[in-house]
Amino acid sequence: MADNVPPSLQHRPNIILLHAGTNDMNPNSGVSLQGSDPLQASQRLSALIRQMRTACPDATILVAIIINVSEAGDCGNSNNNVQQATNIKQYQKQIIQMVHDDFWKSGEHVLAVDFSFLPVDQLRDCIHPTNDGYRYMGRIWYDFVSQIPSDWISPPVGPEPDHSSGDVNANGGVDQNIPAPDFGTSPLQVTSYQVIKAAFDAAQNGGSKTCTSGPHWYPTGKIATGLGHTGAWHYYQNWNEAGRVATGIGRDRRYVR
């Protein structure tokens, strides 16, 4: 996060919402690349907050006391989940102490906000929230933001994002690891109900929650299905290049990943 946050900080936000450290608490060293010690993780979090404060000295930063993970036996490697859950309990306490000692005592506009009460039945894979879980988190973020002292919030210093320029490199542009898109002509065509239903049925992949089927061509466009693995999002990490983008959906291609 520290490596990738600078482009966002260049916009000089006046409020920053930070929820970080779940992966750091995983006992699998392939996930917690910098170690899973709660104290050391809180020190890395402090350094990230300081990086944000340096770039945006007038911003208020809300630091989440992160959500828990489930210890249920149906969570894959249950031993890992039990250890991750134990680490998170310790890390949550470290977050509170770190925010108080490193920022609050010196009068900086940094607050710890509690998300540890998110019900584990709102986790879709024992770690990440379901859609309803994210909606719940959004409402809680809103509640915390509404309680920030009014004199802590100043007008943003940076420019408002410009969505009208048509410049694909505006506001950071697309991930540079993704090959340049070839949009071609719009694949959307007037067709029949039966053909649209057939495309929909194909996209369901037989009810499987993991999309592994190959792309299908229909008059409604190319339905590309695939799956990112182990949380990887960069193009070069287990993602396949999509086909044409259906222009009829009305989305700005700069913000599609």
Instruction: Map out the domains of the chain with their CATH numbers.
Output: 6-152 (3.40.50.1110), 169-257 (no CATH)
pLDDT tens-place string over residues 164-198: 655 544 444 445 555 554 445 555 555 677 776 77
CA–chain centroid gap for 121, Å, is 20
Interhelix angle 78-99/38-55, rounded to 10 degrees, is 50
Tell me the mean pLDDT in the region 56-77. 85
pLDDT tens-place string over residues 89-103: 999 999 999 999 999
Q: Which of 81, 164, 65 is nearest to 127 (CA)?
A: 81
Residues 8, 27, 125, 239, Cα dihedral to 10°:
60
* pTM, 2 dp: 0.63
Distance, CA of 143 to CA of 111 (rounded, Å): 13
pLDDT tens-place string over residues 103-130: 999 999 999 999 998 888 888 888 889 9
| pLDDT at residue 81, rounded to an integer | 83
Asked whether the beta carbons of 136 and 122 are under 8 A apart, the reply is yes
Q: How high is the mean pLDDT of the chain?
A: 76
Q: Which of 238, 237, 240, 254 is nearest to 183 (CA)?
A: 254
Amino acid of residue 39: L
Q: Assign 57 to helix, strand or coil.
A: coil
Tell me the mean pLDDT in the region 69-76. 71
Q: How confident is the model at residue 7 (pLDDT cuts 50, 70, 90)?
A: confident
